[in-house]
Amino acid sequence: MKKGVLILGLALASTAALADNHFDDRFYITPSFGLVKPDSDKTLDSDFFLGLGLGRFVTEHISVDFELDRYTLSPASGNPDVDYTGYGLMGRYHFNENHGWRPFVGIGAGALKHHSIMAKGHNMMYNVAGGLTKSLTDNVKLKTELRYRLDTDDATFSPRDNFSDWMFSLGLNIALGKAPAAAAAGAAAAMQPAPQVDSDHDGVNDANDKCPNTPQGDKVDANGCSLNTGMMDDDRDGVVNRDDQCPNSRAGAVVDKTGCEVQVVIELQGVHFDYDKATLKPESIGILDAAVNTLKAHPQIKVEVAGHTDSRGSESYNQKLSERRAKVVYDYLVDHGIDANRLTWRGYGESQPIADNSTEAGRAKNRRTELKVQ
């Protein structure tokens, strides 16, 4: 009935995000600091190094970086210092986040410049790495990495021509620019309030018309309901008395054509959660802002924010996680101007799956938030 505008608006918003990338593809820089432990045959002491990288994600799981590092190693005996400058490309595969940390593995190659009194030049280097990242803000991630480096220097430490060095680093991924806004823009456009029209020509526009199908010519009250006795709508649910089989519907309830209450559930697609997390991704903000706009345009609507999880983990843990997810969305709506008296929140844990929990795609769909129109 009259709640159709709300239902349509939220449904459009929930699908708008699907056309956009679900990963952050901004360029980022990575300043880092670490310790290098050279091959024992180099007879050089371990020392600190500085690094800098520039990269971006090319898919949700794969990133590519150009990296530079610089260090000087002193001899354990009487040999001269050796200055090293490494630069090259590094590709990394990032696994799904777990307990706030996202593990990765990487492989890469490049050139290693070495300079000492004994020799100087360039040689190939090959890198294999593993590590973890953790989001600190929308723009900053902590990054730790352990790297194996194969140095093919065949001049400085003759007669050997390859050496195994180890490097441990700590750095920050700093994203450049604002978080992707395509999903937010698309969702906001989809959620624009409906035009103020009067479909049944009774003098009350549709946004305020509680009886949208008043017979032409009938006099109406301020709610657009006919003043003819048989055509009045005492419970103001949009169904006139003569057709209303449930004449005492709750105020603001969604009803069917017989005037009886039905439950409407709108999944906020695009407001899914990573495994074991209850924090909003940047692409979720546009969907929630659009929901805020629609709820403000329909102040009579009350909703329950329902949180759901997939089946991984214990039932009791998932119940608490779903409650945290529902509360995060509830808080966002309240913080952006929706009266708390119009909202409730509840977690349903893993009890109401909408997809197969045995597949990754199914579990992703089950990590969701819904608005249940009351």
Numbers of helices and strands, H then E, in the chain: 5, 12
Strands (E), 97-162: 101-115, 120-135, 140-151
Q: Specify the fold of 264-373.
A: 60s Ribosomal Protein L30; Chain: A; (3.30.1330)
Q: What is the per-residue pLDDT across 89-145, written as a single tens digit (0 to 9) for each?
A: 999 999 998 888 999 999 999 999 988 887 788 899 999 999 999 999 888 999 999
DSSP 333-346: HHHTT--GGGEEEE
**How far is 362 from 356, CA to CA, in rounded Å?**
5
CB contact set of 273 (below 8 Å; sequence gap of 6+): 279, 325, 367, 368, 369
Q: How is the chain split into domains, by residue range?
A: 28-175, 264-373
Q: What is the per-residue pLDDT across 282-295, written as a single tens digit (0 to 9) for each?
A: 777 888 888 888 78
Domain 28-175 has CATH 2.40.50.140: no
Strands (E), 242-351: 264-267, 303-307, 343-347
Indicate whether this model's pTM tops 0.85: no
Q: Residue 102 is encoded by which pair of tokens?
A: 């996202």
Q: What residues of the chain score a pLDDT lower than 50?
A: 1-9, 11-21, 182-191, 194
**How far is 210 from 255, CA to CA, in rounded Å?**
12
**How far is 83 from 71, CA to CA, in rounded Å?**
6
Length of the chain: 374
The label of the residue with tokens 């690094």 reads 51
Predicted pLDDT of residue 272: 64
CB neighbourhood size of 157 (10 A): 22
303-307/62-73 β-pairing: unpaired
Predicted pLDDT of residue 26: 92
